Structure 1
Amino acid sequence: MAKQRRPEHLSQEKISAAQDNTLKVVMVSQLVSGVGLPTTILSGSLLSTELFGAESAPGIPAALSLLGAGVVAYLLGLLAKARGRRLSLGLGYALGGLGAMLVLIAAKFASTPLLFIGLIVYGSGFAASLHSRYAGSDLAHPTNRGKAIRVAFFASTIGAVAAPSLSKLIAEPTQSLELPSYAGPFILSALAYLFAAIIVLLLMRPDPYVLAQNLARFTGAKRSSATSQLFDRKLALFGGTTMFAVMFVLSGVMAVTPSHMAEAGMHPEAVQILISLHIAAMYLTSLVTGRWVDTFGAQKIAFAAASVSLISCIIIFFTPGDSVYLLLIALTLLGVGWNFGLISGSASTLAANNLGKNPQLQAKGDAALTFGGAVAGLLAGWLVTVTGYSAVMLVFLIIAACHLLFILFVARKGIGAQA
């Protein structure tokens, strides 16, 4: 019987060209959308104070955005499985832009209910940003999963770090529209997310997930046994827990730390610089993290993530709120720990579900970690009003320590070593 001929669109040359195009589109869209990432961190305290009328809700804006990101992340996974990455990513970014515009309208008319809705919808942009790392890995070779994820994360660095400076350029339009000064970053975010949506919808052709599915059907790629499926579930749990833990710690700490630094007398520009460097550490570290995951394995990098996050929490716990240099070290380490955890956890998730060809499982992981971030932000905001900042940091220090113990436990069981 004659060997089945590989269709032209599934030739190795076509697959390689499609992967190159996907990575380029992901990089450009992430570079643009990265501008919207720090907006809720930089504007959250002002939102709470000005529209909530109190300083008792510092974690609410970020928590609402993460809550929306969790819901949309799950829906994007379902849509990607049914229609592909191009539509799911484009819709996610477009909704993020719509959310930013709703926040602007809420700020214009001082409408708290509309602000809540806008922040929730705004989280769609972050959900799409997370989702894009899997789009880059659909056609990637198993040994290059970390590289594919690295491209998506690194591209976000430029936009995220440039956001505070770019926000100054739209100060005049903000005033001319008679909007509060804190609304400026949301104008920038609306433009960035809508532009990212256009880039993805127009240029991500062919769709990497659809092409990967066609290739899998042609090659007859299937899981081999019930044993491998059981191992996959354990590996997915390891990856999901790793991402959840680093997101929980970072969200809780950053929900209250910027306002704590301001209350301690740190200059507003110094606060902005520290936050920008923190965000740079979150994404710039991807230059090496992806390579290290491919070289040393996800388990070792997850251990490093838990260790670095714990060290960061310890430094913050013992550091005064106006100590610029110590907080610079601590917040940089916090961003590095998040990066290590998210990339190693993502690589484990990819390894757990047939080289990443199950967007629904990926979406559950992203939904879990963003929901966790929302809970952490609300918890930190409530605790800081009841017990004070030091007690909040002690709580998240303990959580970071528990995460490290979890990594040591699963290492003894051999889970995650193969990712």
Structure 2
Amino acid sequence: MQVMWISRNVNFIGLLFANTILGVAMPMLLILGGLTGLMLAPTEGLVTLPASVQTLAGLLAAAPCSLFMGRYGRRIGFAAGGCVAITGALLATYALIADSFVLLCAAHFVLGAALASFQYFRFAAAEVVSTEWQPVAISLMLTSGLVAAIAGPEIFIMAKDALAPIPLAGAYAALAAVLLFGITPLAAVRIPRTEDPSPKLNITRFSALSELRRGPVRRAVGIAAVSQGVMIFLMIPTPLAMIGCGFVEATAGDVIRWHVVAMFAPSFFTGFLIKRFGAEQIAIAGLVMVLAAALAAAAGLSAAHFYGSLILLGVGWNFGFIGATSLLASAVTAGEKAAIQGVNDTIIALVSTVCAFAAGLVVTGYGWAVLAFVTMAVLLITFVILAMGRKQARLEQI
């Protein structure tokens, strides 16, 4: 019994270290995508293309990554994702040396596909602990985002001129080294294969869509998608709105920094709250906080309004996303998880992509207040749908 306890904790610690190091890639690429696009894009309209193809690759790769892990195991899946990401980082380094925008876009496509595999660390965390500790494991796994948000920009600053006179190439090379270091903790990880007595042992990606008819699965996917989508919808245009209101870039950046802290810092205790009150209750509480964030955004345009709104948005996302992840982890069997988790992350990526694109159109065309009111409308519709789903579930039990 003691040996099993030690083994499971070694597995969790190995996953946590790997996820923390590999997670540094995302904030670095958020910085590099725009800057390198500005350097190499032939026209201003293509500046954001590297970041866009990276997002598209994540959308396309989400389900295949999950199915790959379902067949070959989490450890091989994460290691393969890390190796693909290293390839993408080296390709991006060469793209800057060769002054090739096409190669840069190809590199970000490869990187986006690789990063999709890292999203499954939160599910892997739930698989190496006992059922009662799954919410805590998922929550603690997401604390890595806080470390990555701090370490990523620092590594970028230190490495960006390492291959001078070619600007920024050193940052991509440093990223490749970080990714190589990040896959090493996986050597200590042993995630046991779970035998599933269910007749649905190996459902396909397409049959998994039918599983959305199940109440717990549908609610988990819906809450996660709304939490992620609305967070992106409000977060992405915040710097643009603040600069439009006369704030300096440093203030806008500070608001985003505290938003990121609010997204990941609560992860130290969110899992324990889920153990105490339940996953769905915490997830809905998160949506309520996001609604409060939208109300704060609509209430005014002062620095206090922006800070308050984005901090509430971060905490609300944390509760909603972790709660929904825990709800999904407990709602699927071992044979279903590869396909259903793939569908879940594909839907989240699709909603995020649409919200990122729509946010720019709304804030530039109609203003920050309208953006906030649209957010409130989406959340109110979500609450109505959740209430109707609960009512239907009660009627079916009678």
Answer yes or no: is the 8 Å Cα contact 1:282–1:339 preserved in 2.
yes
Please tell me whether residue 37 in structure 1 is matched to residue 26 in structure 2. Answer: yes
Does the 8 Å CA contact 1:90/1:196 hold for their aligned counterparts? no
Moved more, 35-44 or 330-339: 35-44
1:398 aligns with 2:377: yes
Counterpart selection for 2:294 from 293, 313, 316? 313
Question: TM-score, normalized by length of structure 2?
Answer: 0.84
In 1, Cα distance between the equivalents of 2:296 and 2:26?
25
Q: Distance in 2 between matches of 1:255 and 1:92?
A: 27
Q: CA deviation at 1:153?
A: 0.7
Distance 1:376 1:59 in 2: 16
Larger RCO (alpha carbons 8 Å, 6+ apart): 1
Q: Are the aligned partners of 2:145 and 2:264 in contact in 1 as well (CA < 8 Å)?
A: yes
Given that 1:305 and 1:337 are in contact with CA atoms closer than 8 Å, whether structure 2 keeps it comes out as yes
RMSD: 3.2
Matched residues in 2 for 1:231 and 1:383: separation? 30
Counterparts in 2 of 1:242 and 1:231: CA distance versus 1, 3 Å? closer
5+ unaligned residues in a row in structure 2: which ranges? 201-209
Counterpart residue identity of residue 83, structure 1: Y
Aligned equivalents of 2:8, 2:372: Cα separation in 1:
43
Whether contact under 8 Å (1:138, 1:357) holds in the other structure is no
Which residue matches 1:327?
A: 306
Instruction: Trace 1:12-411 onto structure 2 (pairs within 5 A).
Output: 12-42=1-31, 46=35, 51=40, 62-109=51-98, 111-173=100-162, 176-179=164-167, 186-200=172-186, 202-204=187-189, 206=190, 208=191, 211-213=192-194, 216=195, 233-320=214-301, 323-354=302-333, 358-411=337-390
1:63, CA displacement in angstroms?
A: 4.5
> 8 Å contact 1:66–1:373 — kept in the other structure?
no
What is the alpha-carbon distance in structure 2 between the residues aligned to residue 240 and residue 40 of structure 1?
27
> Deviation at 1:292?
1.3
Q: Percent identity?
A: 21
Paired with 1:146 and 1:333, the residues of 2 have a C-alpha distance of 21
Deviation (angstroms), 1:27: 1.1
Aligned residues: 385
| Worse-matched range after superposition: 344-353 or 273-282 | 273-282
CA distance change for structure 1 residues 274 and 62 in 2, over 3 Å: closer, same or farther?
farther
CA distance in 2, matches of 1:271, 1:185: 24
CA deviation map 1:308-347 (0-9, x unaligned): 1122123234443xx4443222212212122112111111
**Which whole-Å CA distance do the structure 2 matches of 1:54 and 1:132 have between them?**
38
Q: Is the CA contact 2:86–2:179 (under 8 Å) kept in the aligned structure 1?
A: yes
